[in-house]
Structures are given as C-alpha cells and as structure tokens.
A and B are shown apart, each in its own frame.
Chain A
Amino acid sequence: MSRAVGQSRIAETFERLRSRGELGIIPYLTVGFPGRESTRQIVPALVEGGAAAIELGIPFSDPLADGATIQRSSQVALANGVTVRFCLETAAALRQLGVDVPLVFMGYFNPLLQFGLERFVSSCAEIGVDGLIVPDLPPIESDELAGLCRQYGRDLIFMVAPTSTDAHIQEVARQASGFLYCVSLTGVTGARDRLDEGVGPFLARVRRHTDLPLALGFGIARPEHVREAAALADAVVVGSALIDRIGRAMPDRQAEAARSFIEWLRSPLTSSTG
C-alpha cells in the first residue's frame, strides 16, 4: 500500500486497521533487554506474530512512571551498555532487516535532552523511526520537541489518563499527531489481571474530543483484555506482560516466546475475523 504524500506511516497503519475493523497490537520492548543484541531478534518475531507497530523503550535510570518489570528491564539494559545512540543504531538495524511497521521510541526526557533534541529527532527521521513518546514531558513542556517533530515529520504522541480533565484532553487532542496514548488506569506500568472498570467510560470521554486513533496501554496482559479493548480502542500497547514472558524464556527461545505471546494475545481477533 503506498503512502499518501505527507501521511505518516503511523497514520497509514491506523487507517488500514480501521478499514479492516481490526485492533492493532503494539508491543513495547526495552531496547537491549534481555541481551544487548536481543532486540534485533525479538522485533522481527513480534512483527511475524502480528504486531501492528513497535514501541522501543529507551532505558532510563529513574523511570518514575514504570512499575517493577520495566524498572528491571531498564536496569538490565543499562547494565548491558545501552545508550541513546545504541537505541538509534538498533532501530536502523531493524529497518535494514526489513521491519516495516511503525517504530516509535518511548523514552524519558533527560537522556534525549542530553543527546540533543534536534540531533535525536533528525536521526529518527533519517532512520525511519516514526514517532516519539516521552512520558515525563506533558504538553506544557513540549513546545521545543513538538516543533522539531513537525519540522522532521515525526509524530509526537501524547498521553491522556483517566484523571485527565476534559480541558486537558481537548488541549492534547489539538496538539497530538499519530495517535493518542490512553493510559488505562491510574497508576504505573505493569501487567494486571483485569482491565480497569473505568476504561470504557474513559475511552468514550476521550472519543468525544478527537478522531485520532486511540491506543490503550498500561496493564494489558491477556487475550480477554484484547477482546474487551477491541470494541473501545484502535490499538493496545503491551509492555510488562511481554517483557515478563521474554525474561522467563531461555535465550534461544526468546524470539519464539515473543511471537507466540503476540499470537496468543491476538487469538480473540483472529478467531472472530476468520
């Protein structure tokens, strides 16, 4: 499918998902976890398993929006010597390996600031990383990065949470591009047994303010969650549950574990659409 001029890979992917009435699965993976080079094996397997896009986590020493699993994967990655530059190199390698789904970096602000915001965003453009999520950069602080993302044609993806006011959601919807990241619960990342009860009303509230695709993240861990989310959102982001799964697998089985985990999550979707 060819991209309309000026249309981002992210927009195109969501359009395709919508036209098929399909929920996208977006796995999150800390770069350089469990091994420094693991990401290059695991991401192609995630795509094979049916991932609609990939979130690549840039590790940070103090991930204050993350629960125990991603804290630990970040520490492992840092111990493996993962840097911002290495994350960019990894993304470039994935593109060379033929990974063609949207790639989105998720990283805390300070490492990006130290790397140099323009240097970072321009590298993303060069490599073909399509978007950025910065969990500790609310709209009020994001002018510079948002400007750079516009300049280099990248999507800066904003988050909204159940605690967000309507005014905040409106403001974010006005600035956002790509998709809106809807935090499913009031809390930090980490696999949960069930979806928060408030998810339905929350997503309906967000929907009233925007036509942008909505990705639901935090806590998503099981096919039941996926089935529930399919009626509410355009995609789900799955992080901690995937990382737990990969972390438990033997090194030579990690890619396979990742692929089968995505297939398992997608099972309610594939069985209903045939």
Chain B
Amino acid sequence: MTLEASPRPISQLPDERGRFGQFGGIYAPVTLLPAIEELIDAYREARQDPAFQAEFERLLRHYVGRPTPLYHAAKLSREIGGAQIYLKREDLAHTGAHKINNAIGQGLLAKRMGKPRVIAETGAGQHGVATATVCAMLGLECVVYMGELDIQRQALNVFRMKLLGAEVRPVTSGSRTLKDAMNEAIRDWVTNVRTTYYLIGSVAGMHPYPMMVRDFQSVIGHETRQQMLELCGRLPDAIVACVGGGSNAMGIFYPFLEDPEVELHGAEAAGEGIETGRHAASLTAGRVGVLHGSKSYVLQDEDGQILEAHSISAGLDYPGVGPEHSYLKEIGRATYHPVTDREALEAFQLLCRTEGIIPALEPAHAVALAVRLAAERSPGEIIVVNLSGRGDKDMHTVAQALGVSL
C-alpha cells in the first residue's frame, strides 16, 4: 500500500469515529459510551481554548522543565563509528519520563470536566507516578491499578505513588501485569463513570485516547524539530523510539509524519527472542484484533485469546499497541523492529559507559536499535533517539540481570 492510498493527510487522522484506516475505533461497553462522547467533546473544546493551551504550556515549562534538551551523543556516535546520534532527553522531565506530558494534559482536562476522581493503569509505574504527581498538584483523588507482578518488579515506584498520595490497587487477575491493570481500570471506570476520569497512559484504548495522548505527547516531536533545525539546520534522517503502548514514539513521530525524508523506526520488546514466544512485539509478531477498546495488532492465540507479553522492561510488557502505529506500519510510513532483552541490556550499559546517562530499560531498546541503524550509516547522517525515561527505577532489575546482588 502507498501513502497516496490514504484519503486524507496522515497527520489529520483519526476520523470522527476514531479510525486510523481500519485501526482504532470505540469497542467499549455501552455504559461507557456517554462518558466517551463527553470526553470527545470536552477534549475538542479544550484543544480550541487558548486558556487551556496556555495553562498546559505553562505547566510543561515551569513544572516539567520543558523544553527538554536535544543532546548530541558525540562519544557514543564515535564509538559506533556511524551516524550521529542525538538524544531527546525526556529522562530529564519531572518524574523521570515522558509520561508526565500526557498526565498533565489529561489532568487539566479532568479538572475542567469537573471529575474529582482520577484512575490510571500502570506497568512500570512511570505513568502511575506521573498521574499521582499531577493529581497531587491539581488536588484530585488518585487510584492506580497495577499488576501484582509489576508491584514486585517496581517496588520503588509503588512507594513513590503512595508518598504522592495515590492509592495503589494490586491486580491479581490474569497475567497480573499491565493488560490486567487496564482491564481493572476499565471496570472501575464502568462502575464509577459519573465521577471518575480515566487517565490512560499510552496511545492505546478506545477513541479519543490514542489521538489525545498523541497530541499531548507531540510536544516531544515539536521541540525536537525546532531544536534539530537550530542545531543542525536540517531535519534528522531517522527517528527512533521504543514502543510499548506507543506514546513516546507517537509523540516524537507525529510532527514528522508529513516529512517522508525522515525515517521513523520503532523498537519493540522482543524479550527472550521472537522465536521463543516470550516477547511483547505486537507489531512484529501479532495479528489484527481488538483489545481494550480499539482495533490494532495484538498478541493472541489462534482462538483470539490475548497472550501474556514478556519483556525485561515492565513498561513495554503489553500485548497490544496503539492503533496509529498499526496504521503507520500498514502504510509503510514507520518500520518496527524487535529488540531483545539482551540487546537492550547491552545498550543500557553502553550508554552509561559512553555518555554518563543511565536510561530506563524501555528506551534502552530504542538505543539498541539506533546503534544497529547507525552502524550502517555514514557519519554525516543524523539519528534522533527518544530517550523516554531515566533508569533509576530499573536498578534492581538490571542488577539482577547482570548477576549482581545489591
């Protein structure tokens, strides 16, 4: 399929029904439909309201610390001996990951809609921490659903959320990870829909979340574009980001969708290897299906039952992916590559050693992919990596993987 097959510019998607081509939509229980319509309307109004935009931008600047730097990783680039690698430093954002951009946008929307209670799902805990942070700042009640397994893996973030005043509810059903946390959050929303705002942490879920979260995260790409032009006088040759649900990737990709000369590459978690079946690479190894309210690529068995995902990184451990990524894959605008746990760990250490930057395990997947791509290119080429978060939360996991006892 070619780009021309799209009936409207790709940056103008989704359509009114939340469709990116065949992907997306609103596959939701009937109880939620009025709340979803209300959200669609409220978001449309907010987006056109200069006061809302100004408040969003004020908080991004003074609370989050934006713009985040675009840093030329010269030493890393030299070591690879290929293209120049630039890092978009989302790890320097308040709370340590890009997740805060979206949490602020939606937190302001919840407040504007008069919803006193906010719920969220979290995997790695970064989105839970971001949501708890914003709720503390805006004075909203906050409940975070988190799989029991992730609670064990990310104890530090659980403690952070509690300090921030959030209630963390362990989810014991299913695989006890992110997908089950999302099921449980949706059940809470169905039950408390009149008072509750569901603050989804990625570009997944039913319309309008994939669009709305992308829009809030696209500040990453807008800044990157401007910074790139200032630093190098041109656009990058390629952009690389890790893809869990896909929000940091959509955030940096989106402002470049209409620049065909800029390649877009997503790094999916290949876990122990695609061939082992223990991975989280929905776009590489999944099939089109419906999960959590939208149609997209999904890891599933022959009978349409959702499979457990596996990744060393809790934030990528999700069997679905945002519908816009499925669309970008289908039309060939973006390319998605599997990156194993082991490759991510190597890249993690490489970045620590060469640049003095400890990345989160999620963007370590993007670094690994960037290293792979850069090695085959000339030093005149430029690759931007979205360094979506910092690695403090992953110290235990990495130590364990490297056989170090703390």
Instruction: Please list the residues of chain A having a beta carbon within 8 angstroms of any beta carbon in chain B.
Output: 60-67, 71, 75, 78, 83-84, 109-115, 135-138, 140-141, 158-165, 168, 183, 186-188
In contact, B31 and A183 (Cβ under 8 angstroms)? yes
Closest partner residue, chain A, to B287 (CB atom): A114
B25 CB within 8 Å of chain A: yes
Closest partner residue, chain A, to B298 (CB atom): A110
Q: A67-B187, A163-B194 are in contact. Are A61 and B31 (CB under 8 A)?
A: no
In contact, A110 and B289 (Cβ under 8 angstroms)? yes
Q: A140-B17, A163-B193, A186-B191 are in contact. Are A112 and B304 (CB under 8 A)?
A: yes
Contact residues in A for B186 (Cβ distance below 8 Å): 64
Contact residues in B for A61 (Cβ distance below 8 Å): 174, 305-306
Other 9 A-B pairs with CB < 8 A, given A62-B306, A168-B33: A64-B186, A64-B187, A114-B287, A114-B289, A115-B303, A161-B30, A164-B31, A165-B34, A187-B190
In contact, B34 and A168 (Cβ under 8 angstroms)? yes
Contact residues in B for A64 (Cβ distance below 8 Å): 29, 183, 186-187, 190, 292
B274 CB within 8 Å of chain A: no
B400 CB within 8 Å of chain A: no
Sample 23 A-B pairs with CB under 8 A, ordered by A number. A61-B306, A62-B174, A62-B306, A65-B31, A75-B173, A84-B303, A109-B290, A110-B298, A113-B304, A115-B303, A137-B27, A138-B27, A138-B28, A159-B30, A163-B32, A163-B33, A163-B34, A163-B35, A164-B30, A168-B33, A186-B190, A187-B190, A188-B190
A165 to chain B, nearest CB (A): 6
Which among A63, A67, A137 has the greatest number of chain B C-beta atoms within 10 A?
Answer: A137
Q: Which of B274-321 contact A (CB under 8 A)?
A: 287, 289-293, 298, 300, 302-306
Closest partner residue, chain B, to A137 (CB atom): B27
In contact, B27 and A109 (Cβ under 8 angstroms)? yes
Contact of A141 (CB < 8 Å), options: B27, B35, B180, B302: B27
B297 to chain A, nearest CB (A): 12
CA distance A84 to B32 in the complex (A): 27
Contact residues in A for B89 (Cβ distance below 8 Å): none
In contact, B300 and A114 (Cβ under 8 angstroms)? yes
Contact of B304 (CB < 8 Å), options: A66, A71, A114: A114
Contact residues in B for A159 (Cβ distance below 8 Å): 29-30
Closest partner residue, chain B, to A84 (CB atom): B303
0/1 string, B181-202, CB within 8 A of A gives 1: 0010011001111100000000
Contact residues in A for B303 (Cβ distance below 8 Å): 83-84, 111, 114-115
CA distance A158 to B298 in the complex (A): 26
Contact residues in A for B304 (Cβ distance below 8 Å): 60, 84, 110-115
Contact residues in B for A160 (Cβ distance below 8 Å): 30
Contact residues in A for B127 (Cβ distance below 8 Å): none
A238 to chain B, nearest CB (A): 19
In contact, A65 and B190 (Cβ under 8 angstroms)? yes
B26 CB within 8 Å of chain A: yes
CA distance A116 to B28 in the complex (A): 20
CA distance A187 to B194 in the complex (A): 11
B38 to chain A, nearest CB (A): 10
Contact of A113 (CB < 8 Å), options: B192, B290, B302, B305: B290
B179 CB within 8 Å of chain A: yes
In contact, A136 and B34 (Cβ under 8 angstroms)? no
Closest partner residue, chain A, to B320 (CB atom): A62
A111 to chain B, nearest CB (A): 4
Closest partner residue, chain B, to A67 (CB atom): B187
Contact residues in A for B29 (Cβ distance below 8 Å): 64-65, 135-136, 138, 159, 161
Q: A64-B292, A138-B28 are in contact. Are A186 and B306 (CB under 8 A)?
A: no
Contact of A187 (CB < 8 Å), options: B30, B191, B289, B305: B191
In contact, A113 and B289 (Cβ under 8 angstroms)? yes
B45 to chain A, nearest CB (A): 18
Contact residues in A for B193 (Cβ distance below 8 Å): 163, 186
CA distance A231 to B4 in the complex (A): 59
B351 to chain A, nearest CB (A): 35
Contact residues in A for B31 (Cβ distance below 8 Å): 65, 161-164, 183, 186-187
Contact of A110 (CB < 8 Å), options: B30, B191, B291: B291
CA distance A78 to B33 in the complex (A): 29
A181 to chain B, nearest CB (A): 9
Contact residues in A for B183 (Cβ distance below 8 Å): 62-64
Closest partner residue, chain B, to A159 (CB atom): B30
Contact residues in A for B34 (Cβ distance below 8 Å): 163-165, 168
Closest partner residue, chain A, to B288 (CB atom): A113
Which among A60, A114, A159 has the greatest number of chain B C-beta atoms within 10 A?
Answer: A114
Q: A64-B292, A109-B290 are in contact. Are A188 and B30 (CB under 8 A)?
A: no
A140 to chain B, nearest CB (A): 6
Contact residues in A for B17 (Cβ distance below 8 Å): 140
Q: A110-B290, A113-B289 are in contact. Are A62 and B28 (CB under 8 A)?
A: no
In contact, A78 and B30 (Cβ under 8 angstroms)? no
Contact residues in A for B290 (Cβ distance below 8 Å): 109-110, 113, 136
Contact of B305 (CB < 8 Å), options: A78, A135, A183: A78
CA distance A136 to B194 in the complex (A): 19
CA distance A166 to B114 in the complex (A): 23
Closest partner residue, chain B, to A187 (CB atom): B191
CA distance A136 to B186 in the complex (A): 12
CA distance A84 to B301 in the complex (A): 12
B192 to chain A, nearest CB (A): 8
B346 to chain A, nearest CB (A): 33
CA distance A232 to B58 in the complex (A): 54
Contact residues in B for A62 (Cβ distance below 8 Å): 174, 179-180, 183, 291-292, 306
Q: A84-B304, A112-B304, A163-B35 are in contact. Are A138 and B190 (CB under 8 A)?
A: no
Contact residues in A for B33 (Cβ distance below 8 Å): 138, 163-164, 168
Which among A65, A75, A109, A168 has the greatest number of chain B C-beta atoms within 10 A?
Answer: A65
Closest partner residue, chain B, to A63 (CB atom): B183
Contact residues in B for A66 (Cβ distance below 8 Å): 187
Contact residues in A for B32 (Cβ distance below 8 Å): 163
0/1 string, B1-45, CB within 8 A of A gives 1: 000000000000000010000000111111111110000000000
